[in-house]
């Protein structure tokens, strides 16, 4: 005995009584159900069932956790089936917020896909309904059905926004959304389908608008509102090249409004923080970015000038030093700044045959530099761990990082004595 599918005759059924026809380890079956099983890119309905005893008294309420098709039947799943008996009565309640969310989103996808076919000849080759957004994969295969349009080579952002506007015009027109059921392919193919049928019998065709002036017409087993106006809003997020197609990211219904609310609140807060109106905020940010770029350029010039001063001081120290190790402390240089300074000495005669220890005080780190005769990397590898240091490098340069100025000083003192 197959399940009577109430969602096929009335998608607005929210509560109904049913009889349990079968209970198995895999789930339970009802003589009739409005719970839509997962399929067609749409997640299943959820809700509750309440056991009704023989006297008509209400019993425990159980949460429906999953609904799937099983041939002509629909199997419902619970965390526990205790109390359910074959032939027993239950009262079912749909999670209507979840159902209507699915209806809005699924119908929004139909409308948008139909417009891409109408305006671009784009065939929907993939549909995903995720938690954060939906996607459709548009393949530019056919000629547009709109005679005023030519098939584009790509779906760019301008084209996508054009389709978004037309899709929302369908929503604003509150076009009817009808489901036509056919027993055979021949009759179903008389409808203005945007996609070829994949099966031969028990065919459901969803049509947005009238069949002679359809915004979309395609085979689908999902649930949809009775009018396009109930979708509320369709909003595109981005377009990206995907394989040989174009993936459209979008949202519809209450989720599109929630996304707008979140982003509007975020933009309002940011613009207020920068003492700007929302309209002037982009110009404000561009101005701040330019000022930051100018400041960065000035900083680079100042660093170069400061580095030249430090190099001059180091050259003087190298020329006058009578020891093999010369320590040069950089009070305000980061390790990267010290390394950039060290590049002028790596493997060069400018080292005067000595080992240079450039000490970045902010990072308690040394950059070791030599002309190559003194092996910098080997020294770090052999001695840095004596003082809780770590690092490495090659013959002409190395880094040694310490946990304190004291440990760094002990390392430098050890090298000075080692290389006397």
Domains annotated on the chain, with CATH: 4-94 (2.40.30.130), 100-264 (3.30.980.10), 313-418 (3.10.310.40)
| 202 neighbors 220 (Cβ within 8 angstroms) | no
Range in 196-205, 206-215, 274-283 the model is least confident about: 196-205
Q: What are phi and psi of 49, to 5 degrees?
A: -125, 140
Task: Show Cβ contacts of residue 330 under 8 Å, excluding neighbours closer than 6 positions.
Answer: 310, 337, 338, 341, 358, 359, 360, 361
Please name every residue paired with 144 in a beta bridge, in sequence order, or none if there are none.
Answer: none
Task: Show Cβ contacts of residue 300 under 8 Å, excluding neighbours closer than 6 positions.
Answer: none
How high is the pLDDT of residue 40?
78
The structure tokens listed for 64 are 């429906």
CB atoms within 10 A of CB 393: 19
How high is the pLDDT of residue 7?
94
Round the average pLDDT of the chain to a whole number and report it. Answer: 94
Distance CA 297, CA 237 (A): 35
How does strand 32-33 pair with strand 4-5? parallel
Q: Looking at residues 50-75, what average pLDDT do you find?
A: 89
CA trace torsion 62, 67, 71, 72 (10° rounding): 70
Distance CA 19, CA 29 (A): 9
- Strand, coil or helix: 138: strand
How high is the pLDDT of residue 350?
95
Nearest to 139 by CA among 161, 153, 123: 123
Assign 56 a pLDDT band (cuts: 50, 70, 90): confident
Distance CA 39, CA 73 (A): 14
Q: Looking at residues 24-28, what average pLDDT do you find?
A: 90
Q: Looking at residues 110-128, what average pLDDT do you find?
A: 96
DSSP string, 38-60: SBTTBPPP-EEEEEE-TTS-EEE
How high is the pLDDT of residue 257?
97
Q: What percent of the chain has pLDDT over 90?
A: 90
Q: What are phi and psi of 234, to 5 degrees?
A: -125, 125
Q: What is the DSSP letter of 349?
A: G
Summarize pLDDT for 205-231 with one digit per residue, the tens: 999 999 999 999 999 989 999 999 999
DSSP string, 185-239: HHHHTTS--SS--S-SSSEEEEEEEETTEEEEEEE--S---SBGGGG--EEEEEE
How high is the pLDDT of residue 310?
95
The structure tokens listed for 417 are 């004595």
How high is the pLDDT of residue 79?
85
Q: How far apart are the first and last CA of the chain?
A: 97
The structure tokens listed for 76 are 């419902």
Backbone φ/ψ region at 91: left (φ over 0), alpha (ψ -120 to 50), beta: beta
Assign 2 a pLDDT band (cuts: 50, 70, 90): confident
Summarize pLDDT for 368-390 with one digit per residue, the tens: 999 999 999 999 999 999 999 99
Q: Looking at residues 337-358, what average pLDDT do you find?
A: 96
The yes-or-no verdict on residue 364 having pLDDT over 90 is: yes
Backbone φ/ψ region at 414: left (φ over 0), alpha (ψ -120 to 50), beta: alpha
Q: Looking at residues 293-300, what average pLDDT do you find?
A: 95
How high is the pLDDT of residue 1?
60
The structure tokens listed for 250 are 């979008």
Distance CA 171, CA 192 (A): 20
Assign 80 a pLDDT band (cuts: 50, 70, 90): confident
Q: For residue 420, how many C-alpha atoms fall within 13 Å in the half-sphere facing its CB?
A: 4
């Amino acid at each position: 005995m197959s399940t009577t599918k109430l969602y096929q005759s009335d998608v607005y059924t929210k509560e109904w009584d049913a009889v349990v026809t079968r209970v198995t380890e895999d789930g339970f079956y009802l003589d009739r159900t409005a719970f839509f099983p997962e399929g067609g890119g749409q997640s299943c309905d959820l809700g509750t069932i309440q056991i009704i005893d023989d006297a008509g008294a209400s019993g425990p309420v159980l949460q429906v956790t999953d609904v799937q098709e099983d041939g002509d039947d629909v199997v419902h799943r619970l965390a526990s089936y205790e109390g359910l008996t074959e032939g027993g009565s239950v009262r079912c309640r749909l999670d209507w917020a979840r159902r209507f969310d699915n209806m809005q989103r699924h119908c929004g996808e139909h409308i948008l896909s139909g417009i891409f076919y109408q305006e671009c000849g784009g065939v929907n080759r993939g549909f995903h309904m995720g938690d954060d957004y939906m996607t459709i994969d548009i393949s530019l295969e056919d000629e547009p059905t709109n005679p005023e349009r030519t098939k584009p080579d790509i779906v760019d952002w301008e084209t996508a926004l054009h389709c978004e506007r037309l899709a929302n015009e369908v929503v604003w027109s509150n076009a009817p959304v009808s489901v036509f059921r056919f027993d055979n392919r021949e009759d179903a193919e008389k409808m203005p389908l945007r996609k070829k049928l994949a099966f031969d019998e028990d065919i459901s065709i969803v049509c947005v608008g009238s069949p002679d002036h359809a915004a979309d017409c395609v085979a689908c087993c999902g649930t949809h509102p009775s009018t396009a106006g109930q979708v509320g809003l369709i909003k595109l997020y981005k377009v990206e090249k995907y394989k040989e197609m174009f993936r459209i990211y979008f949202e519809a219904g209450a989720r599109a409004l929630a996304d707008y609310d979140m982003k509007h609140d975020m933009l309002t807060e940011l613009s207020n923080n920068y003492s700007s109106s929302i309209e002037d905020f982009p110009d404000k940010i561009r101005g701040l970015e330019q000022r930051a770029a100018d400041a960065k350029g000035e900083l680079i010039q100042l660093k170069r000038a400061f580095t030249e001063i430090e190099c001059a001081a180091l050259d003087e120290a190298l020329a006058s030093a009578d020891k093999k190790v010369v320590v040069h402390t950089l009070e305000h240089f980061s390790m990267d700044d010290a390394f950039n300074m060290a590049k002028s000495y790596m493997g060069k005669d400018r080292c005067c045959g000595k080992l240079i220890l450039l000490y970045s005080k902010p990072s308690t780190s040394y950059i070791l530099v030599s002309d190559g005769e003194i092996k910098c990397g080997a020294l770090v590898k052999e001695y840095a761990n004596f003082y809780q240091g770590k690092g490495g490098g090659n013959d002409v340069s190395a880094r040694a990082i310490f946990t304190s100025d004291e440990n760094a000083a002990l390392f430098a003192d050890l090298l000075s004595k080692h290389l006397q």
